């Protein structure tokens, strides 16, 4: 597996053409994706046309972008003008994007080659990759297991080396958790660091776009491209550009890493053993590990599923069978058009969350549930700030388990608890990254997560990069990446 930095350098040096690069990845997608189901659409003609244009650009000696020749996949809730954007839902099965998301535009401006749209839990609601109207995505390390979610297709595609980089969206852990379960790197930037313009909203105060990669340096490269102010997004940060690649290498000597040991007291088995081994590696790099109080995170899942479903109920109200999206042919009046279009267009998990969100926003529940959840969220933010007053970074497992069976979670609550360790970063708008930290006895990946204060994205990457340098690369998955 080659990193994006290696691919670009080989292209710039003339060792390989962009057409050859794209052809290799398209052939891998054709060979492996019928079983993985990572892609919902593959841009064969578009990608090859872009590759030919890049080869001509290099031939003329024109300047090449930071992502020149690098194929990148996009989660199917991010708009690309003229391409279908389904959100893995029957509701948007035939919806073509009228414009491109800011992230898609920025990638193409730096000569990236958009290669396809990836599968996901419908409207980004799920942590397993099984809630797609177009079938579940499978984990390259074990085809009977989930790759996590909701950015399941993006994670599986990078893990199986069907593309070197993919974009996902993270509302409660939907980049980091699947990254951990598929043995790759996944980064959720500070809220507002990357524009959400052109992202189909789930929870507007929580959503953030970020990359899946094979290395932390590739994350740094992507953030140099994506971490820019966007006038179309009112929450976009207008800050000085950061030279992530130049500044990512830094010693951990004397740095303080906070670990919420009391909150993690129920962690057990191989996940606990792997995390403790990872902490020892950080100590060997010169970092000091201290205990921090983040017990408030035990309320995280509860407040997340109140606030996120409330926002989802509001955001998804626009899909009514009138303006765009699925529209029933059986309706007899306006009321039945709404009712039948939404009941047939949405899957059961999305309908569950809409119902829950509508309930918590009702007059009878608003003060008791929604308003209290907002207050607890504020307390969580304060507790995070207190913790960062004592340490530079917080380390915590990314997921409470390794990859689970595709049909292994019958109880929705069990799946919701997959977000236990990732939700805090979304609630507080913090940067957080998941890095591979080893394999279980059954060959399933573990991940460790680093979180930092708001806007300290570079510092989080430094911890991740230092840890990555201490860990041997994971054995590639048996399916896909390990077969060529």
Does 144 share its domain with 193? yes
Q: Tell me the pLDDT band of 422, cut-offs 50, 70 and 90.
A: very high
5-49 pLDDT per residue, tens: 999 999 999 999 999 999 999 999 999 999 999 999 999 999 999
In DSSP terms, 433 is beta-bridged to: 187, 450
Q: In terms of domains, do 182 and 319 share one?
A: no
Q: What is the DSSP string of 274-307?
A: HHHHHHHHHHHTTPEEEE---GGGGGHHHHHHHH
Check whether residue 23 and residue 53 sit in a common domain. yes
Residue 447 lies in a domain: yes
Same domain? 115 vs 23: yes
Kindly name the residue from 89, 146, 159, 174 that is annotated as catalytic: 174
Burial class (CB within 10 angstroms; exposed 0-12, middle 13-18, buried 19+) of 374: middle
- pLDDT for the residue 265: 95
pLDDT at 411: 79
Structure tokens at 23: 């052809």
Instruction: Express each pLDDT in 216-251 by its tens digit.
Output: 999 999 999 999 999 999 999 999 999 999 999 999
Residues 232 and 361 in one domain: no
Q: Do 244 and 310 fall within a single domain?
A: no
- How many domains does the chain contain in total? 2
Of the residues 341, 374, 407, the one at which a domain ends: 374
Q: Give the residue-averaged pLDDT of 148-176.
A: 98
Q: pLDDT category, 478, cuts 50, 70, 90?
A: confident
Cis previous bond, 150, omega within 30? yes
Is 218 within a domain? yes
Rounded distance between C-alpha atoms, residue 23 and residue 230, angstroms: 33
Report how far residue 317's alpha carbon sits from residue 354's, in angstroms, rounded to the nearest whole number: 9
| 101 occurs within a structural domain | yes
Edge-to-edge strands, sheet with 393-397? 39-42, 113-118, 71-75, 165-169, 209-213, 185-188, 432-439, 445-451, 393-397, 256-259, 288-291
Phi then psi for residue 185, to 5 deg, are -95, 135
The reply to whether 28 falls in a domain is yes
Residue 74 exposure: Cα atoms within 13 Å on the Cβ side: 33
Cα distance between the two ends of the chain: 10
Whether residue 326 has pLDDT greater than 70: yes
> Is pTM, for the whole model, over 0.85?
yes
- My answer on whether 22 and 144 are in the same domain is yes
- Residue 122 domain-assigned (yes or no): yes
**Is 263 inside any structural domain?**
no
Domain assignment present for 477 = no
Residue 9: which residues within 8 A CB-CB, separation 6 or more? none
Asked if residue 449 belongs to a domain, the reply is yes
Q: Catalytic residue at 75? A: yes
End position of a domain, from candidates 323, 351, 374? 374
Is residue 204 part of the annotated active site? The answer reads no
Find the catalytic residue in 17, 89, 128, 150. Answer: 150
CATH of the domain at 112: 3.90.1300.10
| Together in a domain, 317 and 244 | no
Same domain as 437, residue 335: no
The answer to whether residues 111 and 201 belong to one domain is yes
Digit-coded pLDDT (tens) for 366-419 = 999 999 999 999 999 999 999 999 999 999 999 999 999 998 777 788 898 899
Domain identity same for 393 and 370: no
Structural domain ending residue among the three candidates 374, 401, 435: 374
Task: Give me the domain span that covers residue 366.
Answer: 297-374
| Average pLDDT rounded to a whole number, residues 459-475 | 95
Q: What's the rounded mean pLDDT across residues 165-182?
A: 98
For 195-216, write each residue's pLDDT tens digit.
Answer: 999 999 999 999 999 999 999 9
- Confirm whether 150 is a catalytic residue: yes
Does residue 393 share a domain with residue 367?
no
């Amino acid at each position: 597996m080659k990193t994006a930095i290696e691919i670009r350098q080989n292209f710039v040096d003339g060792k390989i053409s962009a057409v050859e690069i794209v052809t290799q990845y398209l052939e891998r997608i054709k060979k492996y994706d019928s079983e993985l189901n990572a892609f919902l659409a593959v841009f064969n003609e578009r990608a090859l046309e872009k590759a030919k244009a890049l080869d001509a650009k290099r031939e003329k000696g024109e300047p090449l972008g930071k992502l020149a020749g690098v194929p990148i996949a996009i989660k199917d809730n991010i708009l690309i003008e003229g391409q279908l954007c389904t959100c893995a839902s029957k509701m948007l099965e035939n919806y073509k994007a009228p414009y491109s998301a800011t992230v898609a535009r920025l990638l193409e401006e730096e000569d990236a080659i958009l290669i396809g749209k990836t599968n996901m839990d419908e409207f980004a609601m799920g942590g397993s990759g099984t809630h797609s109207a177009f079938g579940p995505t499978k984990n390259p390390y074990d085809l009977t297991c989930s790759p996590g979610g909701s950015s399941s297709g993006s994670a599986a595609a990078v893990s199986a080396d069907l593309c070197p980089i993919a974009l996902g969206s993270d509302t409660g852990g939907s980049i980091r958790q699947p990254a951990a379960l598929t043995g790759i790197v996944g980064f959720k930037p500070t809220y507002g660091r990357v524009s959400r313009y052109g992202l189909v909203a789930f929870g507007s105060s929580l959503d953030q776009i970020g990359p899946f990669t094979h290395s932390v340096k590739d994350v740094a490269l992507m953030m140099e491209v994506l971490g820019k102010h966007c006038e179309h997004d009112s929450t976009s940060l207008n800050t000085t550009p950061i030279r992530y690649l130049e500044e990512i290498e830094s010693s951990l000597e004397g740095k303080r890493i906070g670990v919420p040991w009391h909150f993690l007291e129920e962690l057990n088995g191989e996940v606990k053993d792997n995390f403790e081994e990872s902490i020892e590696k950080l100590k060997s790099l010169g970092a000091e590990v201290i205990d921090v109080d983040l017990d408030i995170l035990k309320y995280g899942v509860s407040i997340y599923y109140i606030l996120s479903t409330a926002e989802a109920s509001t955001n998804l109200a626009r899909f009514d069978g009138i303006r765009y999206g699925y529209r029933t042919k059986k309706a007899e009046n306006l009321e039945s058009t709404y009712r039948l279009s939404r009941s047939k267009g949405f899957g059961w998990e999305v309908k569950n969350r809409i119902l829950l969100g509508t309930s918590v926003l009702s007059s009878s529940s608003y003060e008791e549930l929604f308003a209290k959840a907002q207050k607890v969220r504020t307390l969580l933010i304060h507790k995070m700030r207190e913790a960062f007053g004592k340490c530079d970074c917080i380390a915590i497992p990314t997921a409470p388990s390794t990859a689970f069976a595709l049909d292994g979670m019958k109880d929705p609550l069990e799946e919701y608890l997959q977000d236990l360790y990732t939700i805090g970063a979304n609630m507080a708008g913090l940067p957080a990254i998941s890095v591979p930290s080893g394999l279980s006895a059954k060959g399933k990946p573990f991940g460790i997560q680093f979180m930092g204060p708001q806007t300290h994205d570079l510092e989080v990457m430094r911890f991740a990069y230092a840890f990555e340098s201490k860990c041997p690369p994971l054995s590639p998955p048996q399916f896909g990446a390990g077969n060529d």
